[in-house]
Amino acid sequence: MNVDTETFKSFDLVGKDLSNRGYNSSHAGNLSMKSGGRIIITRRSSMLGWLQPEDLVTIDLEEEDAHSSLIASTESNVHRNIYMQTDAMAVVHAHAPAATALSMVLDEITCIDGEGMLLYKKIPVVECDIPVGSYEVAGKVAHTLRNYPAVVVRAHGVFAKGVTLEDALGVLTGVEQAADIIYRIRLMGLPLKRDYSKEKGFSDW
């Protein structure tokens, strides 16, 4: 299946944005969108900041096959599970530094900034014995994304869903911004004047 120009442009835009923000190392992260009974996903170890049309691979929505498993992203099973269990039409995965760092010391990220409080309230953190590409990750991430727009895999990174790739990118960058603000507050070592996340019980969401 050849990918049309507009679809490639969406992948290219989102990949470049993630790269420019420093959310991934050169050959890390992955993007996908649902297309009928298929998934269009980035090739294994592709450079998201410098995508070429051949870096987009089409795989079956419901079944793995030997050929696609060799060339598609190592997170293909995670993306497949998300589409089969949630309302996602697009998925963006990146190793966003602040969210990943907080996942190693927190069991959930409760937002304290205005935008984060409005849009996300809480970003769940899931822990897996093998945090990259495993079936455990696929199960826990998909289950969590039924009720949340994004989830952080401890010590690995963020998976965000959306209606389009740009929509999922907006979720992921919003989550990372919320996490970065918490990270900076912790660096300052000063108490919050007001913690809305506790007042509004975001941990219960």
Q: Tell me, yes or no, whether 197 lies in a domain.
A: no
Residue 133 is predicted with a pLDDT of 79
Give the domain range for residue 62. Answer: 5-189
Distance of CA 64 to the CA centre of its chain: 21
Residues 56/3, Cβ–Cβ less than 8 Å: yes
Residue 161 is predicted with a pLDDT of 98
Q: Tell me, yes or no, whether 178 lies in a domain.
A: yes
Residue 121 backbone class (left: φ over 0; alpha: ψ -120 to 50; beta: rest)? left
CATH number, position 136: 3.40.225.10
Residues 128/136, Cβ–Cβ less than 8 Å: yes
CA distance 178 to 136: 26
Q: Tell me, yes or no, whether 33 lies in a domain.
A: yes
Residue 2 is predicted with a pLDDT of 75
Q: Tell me, yes or no, whether 205 lies in a domain.
A: no
Residue 3 is predicted with a pLDDT of 85
Number of domains the chain is built from = 1
Q: Tell me, yes or no, whether 144 lies in a domain.
A: yes
pTM of the predicted protein model: 0.94
Going by their DSSP bridges, the two strands 122-126 and 150-153 should be labelled as parallel
CA distance 72 to 41: 7
Rg (CA), the chain: 17
Return per-residue pLDDT of the chain as tens, 205 residues.
Answer: 578 899 999 999 999 999 999 999 999 999 999 998 999 999 999 999 999 999 999 999 988 776 676 888 989 999 999 999 999 999 999 999 999 999 999 999 999 999 999 999 999 999 999 989 788 999 999 999 999 999 999 999 999 999 999 999 999 999 999 999 999 999 999 999 999 999 999 999 9
Residue 134 is predicted with a pLDDT of 87
Residue 62 is predicted with a pLDDT of 87
CA distance 203 to 191: 19
Using alpha carbons only, give the angle 134, 136, 137 rounded to the nearest 5 degrees.
70
Residue 1 is predicted with a pLDDT of 58
